[in-house]
Chain A
Amino acid sequence: EDQVTQSPEALRLQEGESSSLNCSYTVSGLRGLFWYRQDPGKGPEFLFTLYSAGEEKEKERLKATLTKKESFLHITAPKPEDSATYLCAVRHVGGYNKLIFGAGTRLAVHP
């Protein structure tokens, strides 16, 4: 069964304390892995797309990496404004464009 699992469910960091969020997936034939940021009461905001193992993407304090079974979202020296829920999603071969989402990681960065 196609599945996306994110860990941890929640993460509390002090400002400047770097960490990583995990997204593990089991799908047949990955067509893309997507990271989104979601603020409370808002729609998800697109961050990154990764297509193949070994690929990396960076944006400000965020860096996403991909292996054959999982992706990591590394947050370097986070600031309070990085507090949000981070969602991971995958598309797979034969999935008819369907995005399969994980439950997300709620990140809180305290000053």
Chain B
Amino acid sequence: DGGITQSPKYLFRKEGQNVTLSCEQNLNHDAMYWYRQDPGQGLRLIYYSQIVNDFQKGDIAEGYSVSREKKESFPLTVTSAQKNPTAFYLCASSMGQADTEAFFGQGTRLTVV
């Protein structure tokens, strides 16, 4: 089945640590995205990538980093510089044209302990 796989489903981070969230898609989509969701708020864009080896900052990129070395993969690193990392993180992909829908993974819930 085609889709987007995020792992792990739950992740616990100690303060000061960097952690990496995985996102893999087999939909042959060019564009990939990372969103953050907090209770009572809409999804906010962290980073997006239109094509391999290229990515742009979204609205809340501070404290996060990404790479796009393969079309299928778009990992997100939450660094120790992110002051409030506890949230639900969602990865998405789309065909790349501006008028096409995006499809989401099942999310990773990150908690700082």
Contacts and interface: CB of A to CB of B under 8 A. Distances in A.
Interface of A: 4, 31-32, 34, 36, 41-46, 49, 51, 87, 89, 91, 93, 95-104
B20 interface: no
Interface of B: 4, 6, 31, 33, 35, 40-45, 48, 50, 56, 58, 88, 90, 92, 94, 96, 98-107, 109
A8 B55 CA distance: 35
Nearest to B107: A43
B90 A97 contact: no
Contacts of A42: 106-107
A32 B99 contact: yes
Contact of A44 (B41, B94, B104): B104
Contacts of A4: 42
A31 B90 contact: no
Contact of A32 (B40, B48, B92, B98): B98
Contacts of B48: 96-98
A100 B44 CA distance: 8
